[in-house]
Amino acid sequence: MADRGKHQTGFGFETRAIHAGARPEPVTGARNTPIYQTSSYVFEDAEHAADLFNLSRFGFIYSRLTNPTVSVLEERVASLENGRAAVAAASGHAAQFLTFFTLLEPGDEFVASRNLYGGSMTQFGLSFKKLGWTCHFVDGTDPENFRRAITPKTKALFLEVLANPGGIIIDLEKVVEIGKDAGIPVIVDNTMASPYLHQPLEWGADIVIHSTTKYLSGHGTSMGGVVVESGKFDWTQGGKFPSMTEPEPSYHGLTFYETFGDFGFTTKARAVALRDFGPVQSPMNAFMTITGIETLHLRMERHVANAQVVAEYLEGHEKVAWVSYAGLQSSPYRELAQKYLPKGPGAVFNFGLKGGYEAGVHVVETVELFSHLANVGDTRSLIIHPASTTHRQLSPEQQIAAGAGPDVIRLSVGLESVEDLLRDLDQALG
């Protein structure tokens, strides 16, 4: 169980990225975290087994709940986010599902910024409806829109501080204030920034979600997601969260917040949602992500440096209509970027072509070094036309509102020599 997620006082980010949650394997002395490729674990005796199943003792039962390799990943991400605890899942979407299943009852609502990854908008707006959960999308660039959308049934506010795609930055501090006034948690998808560039919990957010598939893994090899809780939210407020404050029948009436306190949310997400729906992260993917995290700080520095150069080049190109990157002097989000992301506003951004849809298709089909695929956060530079791929489920109006209109190209700038990236874009733009 990742119940030791508090950041290790006195150790810097880089040190924790390499060491948090891990120690030499005691039997062999192996220094790297082993891949515990096992489905189950032997109990010491009947009492030990009973204690584990009753959640009165932490340990390993079955890899749908806990696995030693995955636990290291959970502790490491919790440490890097300065959170209390974490639970890993098979993907970022799975992490979102675990979060909302733990929070919501049928008929409940939540408010989300419409500046989200297109798949999140589809999950929230369509699939969650079938579970009796309603998401109200708002323009998060005006934080007061969150307040205006809150109803007595609202149980959470959700946003990406660094939006995907679009280069838009949401004023988290103001949204947190609105959440506190309403007595509901603020949930931040921090995938695009990574904890190296931004730590939402330090700004008062209550829960952080990552698709570890992206920058945390970093090499385009491994699917995964993770949920991190701050441990600071009072789940007893207003009787709004019975999942946390009322007895859980599948554990003999145990009450998660009363029993586990500041890591009750992730414990409930694991012990009920992960147990019953099963979107577990595999030990191999956890191992690959742990390895990726060890160089997160180095990779993010280069990602950001390359992105700045590419964005400036595109802004000056005669065939480019606009560039949406918060690192540019022209960006309306530059001031917010300096506030929330002083090390750089990530490496994923949009630009629009004067030739519209057809020009966008030509560019993604003509680049040679950039890979045309649906992912971000890879060591390789990636390119996509969101309107025909990641956001194609949305209506044209929704695409434009999400920053993924027909003329838009999204780049995820990688770690190559930046001169080579510029040369590739130049020949594709013609």
Query: Is 142:300 a contact under the CB 8 Å cutoff?
Result: no
pLDDT of residue 36: 97
Q: What is the pLDDT of residue 356?
A: 81
- The dihedral formed by the CA atoms of 336, 338, 339 and 344, expressed in degrees to the nearest 10: 100
What is d(CA 6, CA 375) in angstroms, rounded to the nearest whole number? Answer: 30
Chain-centroid distance, C-alpha 187: 10
Q: Percentage of the chain surpassing pLDDT 70? A: 97
pLDDT digits (tens, 9 = 90+) for 149-193: 999 999 999 999 999 876 899 999 999 999 999 999 999 999 999
Helical (H) or strand (E) element with 419: helix 418-429
CATH fold label, 296-429:
Aspartate Aminotransferase, domain 1 (3.90.1150)
What CA–CA distance (Å, rounded) separates 98 from 225? Answer: 10
Measure the CA–CA gap between 388 and 357, rounded to whole angstroms: 9
Contacts for 167 with CB less than 8 Å, ≥ 6 apart: 323, 324, 325, 326, 331, 333, 345, 349, 350, 403
Is the pLDDT assigned to residue 396 strictly greater than 90? no
Write out the DSSP string of 48-79: HHHHHHTTSS---SBTTT--HHHHHHHHHHHH
Q: Which of 146, 142, 162 is nearest to 337 (CA)?
A: 162
Task: Write the pLDDT tens digit of every residue in 258-300.
Answer: 999 999 999 999 999 999 999 999 999 999 999 999 999 999 9
Mean pLDDT in residue range 56-69: 94
Inter-axis angle of helices 296-315 and 418-429, nearest 10: 40
d(C-alpha 120, C-alpha 215), whole Å: 18
Compare 212 and 7 and report the one with higher pLDDT.
Answer: 212
User: Stretch 83-100: mean pLDDT, rounded?
Assistant: 98
Tell me the whole-structure pTM to 2 decimals: 0.94
| pLDDT score recorded for residue 9 | 61
At residue 6, the pLDDT reads 41
Mean pLDDT of the 347-357 span: 91
For the chain, count helices (H), then strands (E).
Answer: 18, 12
Can you give the residue ranges of every domain in the chain? 13-292, 296-429
> pLDDT at position 1, please?
40
HSE (side-chain half, CA atoms, 13 Å) at 112: 27
The 8-class DSSP code of residue 208 comes to: E
Residue range 204-247, pLDDT digits in tens: 999 999 999 999 999 999 999 999 999 999 999 989 999 999 99
For tokens 């060591």, the residue is 379
Strand ranges inside 160-243, DSSP E: 186-189, 207-211, 225-229
Q: Phi first, then psi: what are they for 112, rounded to 5°?
A: -130, 145
**In the prediction, which pLDDT does 142 show?**
97
Q: pLDDT value at position 13?
A: 97
**Percent of the chain residues past pLDDT 90, beyond the cut:** 86
What is the rounded CA–CA span in Å between residue 23 and residue 112? 39
Report angle CA 137, 139, 144 to the nearest 5 degrees: 105
Q: Do domains 13-292 and 296-429 have the same CATH topology?
A: no
Q: What was the pLDDT predicted at 387?
A: 75
CA dist 188 and 400 (Å) reads 22
Which of 84, 269, 93, 238 has the alpha carbon at shortest distance from 155? 238
In whole angstroms, give the CA distance from residue 406 to residue 353: 9
Q: How many CB atoms lie within 10 A of CB 268?
A: 28
Q: pLDDT per residue over 399-428, tens digit each?
A: 777 667 888 999 999 999 999 999 999 999
- Supply the CATH classification number for the domain 13-292: 3.40.640.10
Whole-number Å distance between alpha carbons of 19 and 36:
18
Are 154 and 184 within 8 A, CB to CB?
yes
pLDDT at 4: 37
Whole-angstrom Cα distance, residue 380 to residue 197?
19
Here the tokens at position 274 are: 């992960």
Residue 343 has pLDDT above 70, yes or no: yes
